[in-house]
Amino acid sequence: ASEAAGPVFAAHARCDLDAAKVLVADPSRVAMVQCAPAVRVTLAEEFGLAPGSLTPGKLAAGLRRLGFAVVYDTTFAADVTVMEESAELLARIAEGGRLPLFTSCCPAWVRHVETAWPELTPHLSSCKSPQQMAGALFKSYAASLDGFDPAAVASVSVMPCTAKKHEAARPELRSGPAALADVDAVVTVTELAAWLKEAGIDFAALPGEPFDAPLGRYSGAGVIFGATGGVMEAALRTAVALCGEGRETAGPESGIVFTPAGPGVARAEFELAGNKLAAVTVSGLANVGPLLEAVAAGTADFQFMEVMCCPGGCVAGGGTPKLLPGVDVAAAVAARRQALGNHDRALPVRAAHANPAVTELYAAFLERPLSHRSHELLHTVYGGAAKGGHD
């Protein structure tokens, strides 16, 4: 939408803009913010730039101008999600755990499994989504690094997704001895654009600034979470490396090629830890039905499945700018995806396990993926089986 057209919010979604403004203005709180990978390739459209304009530096600068004390990045937490989820996949394979493993970073997908296929909830990864992992780390690791009281941290996220607001309110997604909410307010891309305009910030003219360290340091693996297939590729980059397969010859990508296997579905077959495996990615909730029927019937011939409810992934999320009449939506979403791919390829570190900030997080705080502390902060039980049920 152009600036003159004003913000267009999803009509059914709660707006958290006022709540976020109150948190930022409260002198007793330390306002920490994170922004999802897709935000950096969608926000600029609200300011008249072309779909797919990549603006991470302006995004960080704009959030600082709005008053956030610490500007972190969900993309760092996406790298942490890769570490935890790839370890979970390898553990389930080694220990005969429930397979196929379903990704759990899309809250609308998680909710679909819980409500329409409750018997399949054990297939969901126990990993919290990157948004929730980042929030849990804000109020533990990040707070301790800077000497803040965890309860004083105000955790705000900027998301391409309206479902993330409901995810943040789930009782299972609280952490620490005081069961603090991981995320206190979720602002969509269109809401952030409205806030910037209201504050008189000329987004297009902002200089590029870095995100704050260490939770603002990210790899290309975290970046591609924003598009369909990206979570899978990011996890496989690390799983392949951790298994030592092809380590000598491997490039920055997993080398595992997915090919179309039906509407919105892609599939690959490969070997991992001596096991012949198959994985599928699903773009668009409407396309997952036959695969879930196969899982329920015990006939699924794959071990790992990524599902993103929005066709194309988060770059097409309900909180992203609405495209103007006459704009080719498919081409615009493709441009956003392409921009994330270009960003991944241009980064010096492209795998989560090679991100020095992630390595330091494990060395200094978490110890290792799936550790006791990781389970306390970064994992949950979906389906209402623990921690008081779901919303």
With binding defined as CB under 6 A, does residue 134 bind ligand SF4? no
Stretch that binds ligand SF4, among 148-156, 308-316, 350-358, 378-386 (CB under 6 A): 308-316
With binding defined as CB under 6 A, does residue 309 bind ligand SF4? yes
Q: Annotated catalytic, 172? A: yes
With binding defined as CB under 6 A, does residue 377 bind ligand SF4? no
Three-state SS across the chain?
CCCCCCCCCCCCCCCCHHHHHHHHHCCCCEEEEEECHHHHHCHHHHHCCCCCCCCHHHHHHHHHHCCCCEECCHHHHHHHHHHHHHHHHHHHHHHCCCCCEECCCCHHHHHHHHHHCHHHHHHECCECCHHHHHHHHHHHHHHHHHCCCHHHEEEEEEECCCHHHHHHCCCCCEECCCCEECCCEEEEHHHHHHHHHHCCCCHHHCCCCCCCCCCCCCCHHHHHHHCCCHHHHHHHHHHHHHCCCCCCCCCCCCCCCCEECCCCEEEEEEEECCEEEEEEEEECHHHCHHHHHHHHHCCCCCCEEEEECCCCCHHHCCCCCCCCCCCCHHHHHHHHHHHHHHHHHHCCCCCHHHCHHHHHHHHHHHCCCCCHHHHHHHECCCCCCCCCCCC
Residue of 193, 310, 349, 361 interacting with ligand SF4 (CB under 6 A): 310
The residue count for binding ligand SF4 (CB under 6 A) is 12
Stretch that binds ligand SF4, among 42-50, 88-96, 119-127, 156-164 (CB under 6 A): 156-164
With binding defined as CB under 6 A, does residue 108 bind ligand SF4? yes
Select which of 46, 88, 233, 253 is catalytic.
Answer: 88
For residues 53 and 42, give the distance between their C-alpha atoms in angstroms, rounded to a whole number.
7
Q: Which residues, other chains included, contact 207 with Cβ-Cβ below 8 Å and sequence gap of 6+?
A: 57, 58, 61
Q: How far is the CB of 388 from ligand SF4 (least distance, A)?
A: 23
Select which of 106, 309, 310, 314 is catalytic.
Answer: 314
Q: How far is the CB of 202 from ligand SF4 (least distance, A)?
A: 27
With binding defined as CB under 6 A, does residue 106 bind ligand SF4? yes
Q: Annotated catalytic, 167? A: yes
With binding defined as CB under 6 A, does residue 163 bind ligand SF4? yes
Q: Annotated catalytic, 95? A: no
Q: Annotated catalytic, 85? A: yes
Q: Annotated catalytic, 127? A: no
Q: Annotated catalytic, 125? A: yes
For ligand SF4, the closer of residues 125 and 140 by Cβ is 125
Stretch that binds ligand SF4, among 46-54, 241-249, 312-320, 359-367 (CB under 6 A): 312-320
Q: How far is the CB of 157 from ligand SF4 (least distance, A)?
A: 12
Q: Annotated catalytic, 46? A: no
**R_g (Cα) of the chain, nearest Å:** 20
Stretch that binds ligand SF4, among 85-93, 95-103, 104-112, 136-144 (CB under 6 A): 104-112
With binding defined as CB under 6 A, does residue 10 bind ligand SF4? no
With binding defined as CB under 6 A, does residue 308 bind ligand SF4? yes
For ligand SF4, the closer of residues 158 and 314 by Cβ is 314
With binding defined as CB under 6 A, does residue 51 bind ligand SF4? no
Please give the positions annotated as active site.
Answer: 85, 88, 105, 125, 164, 167, 172, 314
Note the residues at the interface with ligand SF4 (CB under 6 A). Answer: 106-108, 160-161, 163, 308-310, 313-314, 317
